């Protein structure tokens, strides 16, 4: 029970009161009033938040804007004089959610209650993991506690980290080309400030997160009447030419998939024999561009283990993607052995396996984006 509330209770109900309520009932009444005021205040200071259905004694909030970040939540709480006392990981004791972080907060009157921030940008499993990890590292730096990822990064960077910034609130539109660019400050999920005064940009990936980049290529196919036909997009034209991609064959498969009739190339095609060294260098450049440089790539391997790659320079990126060994294309099709509506350019290199997936992420047929996926 809150000590300040106990003192207020004793002062108000000092002496004889025939209908004096119990302290527990008084506490519940004050907390419920605080919750109602809080929900009203939080929506007023940041309309990107909406109230949800309260569960397990905790208030449920949901961001409307997919780019709403933990940092935005902290700023909104500060504006209404609410402080965070503790951040409880999902599923732990005192947690009100098996999926999302639970925040124990205290309002300006000294009343404590719990908040669960769920849905929206916090509903994406990978993004939820990244935000949780940022909270853990922030708490470790603030409290001077050890954290396995923080320790590894400090060793690689050669400095002790004294501060944390986040980059979740940025809307990133990266350009795909035939060479990498410095994008650390644009794509960082976490920015660590070193004792040396430098900032270190960290890109976080959950253990199931395979997508490295996502670029728009609307126009590569178009609808003419009831048929899908090849279009054009200069961003990927050189890449498609280098891997000998047949857009007519791809359109045939898309139409077959759309109309649910047999058609398209259902078996993968190895195009490596048709590629020159120049073609391979073009593909390697596109791989490097999808990765870019200027940051630490951090992949969760589970059980507090991480793959950390320092992508500080273009040379680091080219070492990361490796040299081209084999290129295979999977076309859209509607066949006995396979049924797919995307193009996949599978690139095997000396360092691993990557795939450029040309697809539509909205459940439609026409491909409008190209993602680089690392197996």
Parallel, antiparallel, or unpaired: how do β-strands 199-205 and 295-302 relate?
Answer: parallel
pLDDT on residue 83? 86
Residues 24-63 pLDDT 10s: 454 444 445 567 778 888 888 888 888 888 877 788 888 8
Q: Give every strand in the sheet of 324-330, ordered side by side.
A: 211-216, 369-374, 352-359, 343-349, 324-330, 269-270
pLDDT score recorded for residue 19: 55
Q: What's the confidence (pLDDT) of residue 28? A: 47
Q: Calculate the average pLDDT of the chain.
A: 85
- Taking only the tens place, the pLDDT of each residue in 295-310 is 999 999 988 899 999 9
CA atoms within 13 A on the CB side of 39: 18
- Per the model's pLDDT, the better-predicted residue between 174 and 10 turns out to be 174
- Report yes or no: 78 and 133 within 8 Å, Cβ to Cβ: no
List, in order of start, the domains of the chain with CATH numbers: 3-123 (3.30.460), 212-291+321-374 (no CATH)
- The structure's pTM equals 0.68
Show the DSSP H helices in 46-178 as ranges.
Answer: 70-79, 125-143, 148-157
Cβ-contact 257, 341 below 8 angstroms: yes
247-272, pLDDT tens digit by residue? 999 999 999 999 999 999 999 999 99
Q: What is the pLDDT of residue 111?
A: 79
pLDDT-based confidence at 128, cuts 50/70/90? Answer: low
Q: CB neighbours of 8 closer than 8 A, spacing ≥ 6?
A: none
Q: Say whether pLDDT at 290 is over 50.
A: yes
Place of tokens 């009203």: 40
């Amino acid at each position: 029970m809150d000590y300040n509330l106990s003192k207020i209770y004793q002062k108000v109900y000092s002496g004889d009161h025939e209908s004096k309520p119990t302290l527990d009932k008084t506490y519940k009444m004050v907390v419920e009033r605080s919750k109602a005021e809080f929900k009203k205040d939080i929506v007023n200071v940041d309309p990107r938040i909406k109230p949800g259905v309260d569960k397990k004694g905790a208030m449920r909030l949901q961001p409307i804007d997919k780019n709403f970040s933990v940092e935005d939540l902290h700023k909104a709480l500060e504006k209404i004089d609410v402080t965070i006392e503790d951040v409880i990981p999902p599923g732990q004791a005192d947690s009100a959610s098996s999926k999302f972080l639970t925040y124990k907060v205290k309002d300006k009157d000294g009343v404590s209650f719990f908040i669960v921030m769920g849905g929206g940008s916090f509903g994406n499993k990978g993004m939820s993991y990244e935000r949780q990890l940022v909270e853990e590292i922030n708490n470790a730096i603030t409290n001077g506690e050890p954290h396995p990822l923080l320790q590894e990064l400090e060793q690689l960077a050669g400095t002790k980290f004294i501060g944390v910034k986040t980059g979740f609130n940025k809307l990133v539109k990266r350009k795909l080309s035939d060479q990498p660019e410095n994008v650390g400050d644009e794509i960082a999920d976490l920015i660590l400030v070193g004792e040396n005064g430098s900032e270190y940009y960290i890109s976080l990936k959950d253990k199931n997160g395979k997508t490295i980049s996502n670029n728009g290529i609307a126009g590569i196919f178009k609808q003419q009447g009831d048929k899908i036909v090849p279009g054009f997009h200069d961003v990927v034209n050189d890449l498609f030419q280098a891997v000998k991609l047949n857009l007519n064959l791809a359109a045939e498969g898309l139409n077959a998939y759309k109309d649910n009739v047999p058609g398209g190339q259902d078996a993968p095609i190895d195009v490596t024999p048709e590629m020159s060294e120049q073609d391979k260098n073009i593909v390697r450049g596109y791989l490097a561009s999808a990765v870019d440089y200027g940051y630490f790539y951090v992949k969760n391997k589970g059980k507090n283990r991480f793959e950390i790659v320092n992508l500080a320079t273009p040379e680091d990126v080219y070492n990361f993607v490796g040299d081209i060994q084999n290129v295979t294309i999977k076309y859209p099709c509607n066949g006995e052995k396979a049924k797919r509506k995307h193009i996949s350019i599978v690139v095997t290199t000396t360092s691993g396996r990557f795939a450029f997936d040309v697809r539509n992420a909205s459940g439609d047929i026409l491909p409008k984006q190209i993602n680089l996926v690392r197996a």
